[in-house]
Amino acid sequence: MSAGRIAGRIGELLGLHHPIVQGPFGGGLSTVELASAVSEAGGLGSYGAHIMTPGAITEVVAKLRAATDRPFAVNLWVPQEGERFSFDVTELAWNAERLRPYADELAVDTGSAAPEHPAFDDQVDALLAAAPPVISFVMGVPPVRVVEEARRRGIVLFGTATTVDEAVALEAAGLDAVVASGSDAGGHRGAFLRPVAESLVGTFSLVPQVVDAVSVPVVAAGGIADARGVAAALALGADAVQVGTGFLATAESGAPAVHKRALHSPEARTTVLTRLYSGRPARGIPNRFVREMAAHEEAVPPYPLQSLLMQPVRVAAAAQDRPDLAALWAGQAAPLTRPALSAAEYLAALTGKLPGVGTVRVREG
């Protein structure tokens, strides 16, 4: 992958040495070490902040700025219609009871106190004030005032689209780049114009359609974990590639050991979309919890209530090395990831500069 290939729009926009964006992770999986390592290696490191308080967002941007003088991104989720971020404890009782057997196994409590989630307006105001080089959004179009203030402060805005119509809406709203996120991607689906079930477009079907539909730079995401996938996405017209699951497996990520092992296991060949851990559809490796609770997929509370209820279970399962109960987010290319690589080594592999690790091979004859 030559330097000339990236002297285009993404290079001009951010000054990256490589057209590689690290996917942002929420739920404690992001780390300053990972994001800064990717940025220092010439890509765009990212940090998922959607569960963080405004004060924590201010602090993490300062830490990222201290760790690297290269561009980095901080990610937030745009609230969807009908979502609430505070709850009465009585609203939790019926679902907390359903989770009790798993909580008892892990010796944790669910539903004894009314949880709260930071308000998006407070989060985004703190993020704008901290002014990271890039703010990325998933789940929707950010408010007009956010786009205007970001432009005033010189902040580059990425928006995430799961369909062509969403990409068009993001460009019309004034965002600087569109991440075309195919249904292959791990973690939460970001559909916002139609239901998720009507927005499951594979990455290599989605990317060329988005490239044709918008004039802003396009970042391909979903099911890309080695240099072959990067080359294919760029050949389809993407200006850069966003990789999530592969960076989740690196040494610097905040994924617990049980999660990293799962990414390299035979079980990672199968992934499913489930609402059971957060109340929003997300792709991960099915385990005992997902299978036993499958009948309740449509009955669990919406995000963020289900996510807040499940937080003690998720945290304890990870700490207790319980793959049968932990949230094992993974994309469909998880088996292509490699264990024990640093973020810099993995980025080198993605650009074809680390021989033998997902490099592009030409067949003879």
- Hey, where are the domains in the chain? 3-350
Among residues of the chain, what percentage have pLDDT more than 70?
Answer: 91
- The radius of gyration of the chain from alpha carbons, rounded to an integer in Å, stands at 20
Output the CATH code of domain 3-350.
3.20.20.70
Residue 118 main-chain phi, psi, to 5 deg: -55, 140
Residue 252: pLDDT above 50?
Answer: yes
pLDDT band at residue 364 under the 50/70/90 scheme? very low
Q: Compare 85 and 316 and report the one with higher pLDDT.
A: 316
pLDDT band at residue 116 under the 50/70/90 scheme? confident
Q: What is the DSSP letter of 144?
A: H
pLDDT band at residue 113 under the 50/70/90 scheme? low
Going across the sheet that includes 156-161, the strands are: 20-22, 240-243, 218-221, 177-181, 156-161, 134-138, 72-77, 45-48
**Helices 227-235 and 343-350: angle between axes, nearest 10 degrees:** 50
Tell me the per-residue pLDDT of 40-92, one tens digit each, with 9 for 90 and over.
999 999 999 999 999 999 999 999 999 999 999 999 999 988 777 766 667 67
133 upstream amide cis, omega within 30 of 0 = no
Contacts of 229 (CB under 8 A, 6+ apart): 223, 241, 333, 336
- Average pLDDT (4-33) is 84
Question: Tokens at residue 204, please?
Answer: 């290599």
Residue 328: pLDDT above 70?
Answer: yes
Predicted local confidence at residue 95, as pLDDT: 78
Lowest mean pLDDT segment, chosen from 56-70, 201-215, 258-272, 292-306: 292-306
Beta strands in 41-151 (DSSP E): 45-48, 72-77, 134-138
Predicted local confidence at residue 357, as pLDDT: 43
Predicted local confidence at residue 355, as pLDDT: 47
Predicted local confidence at residue 114, as pLDDT: 57
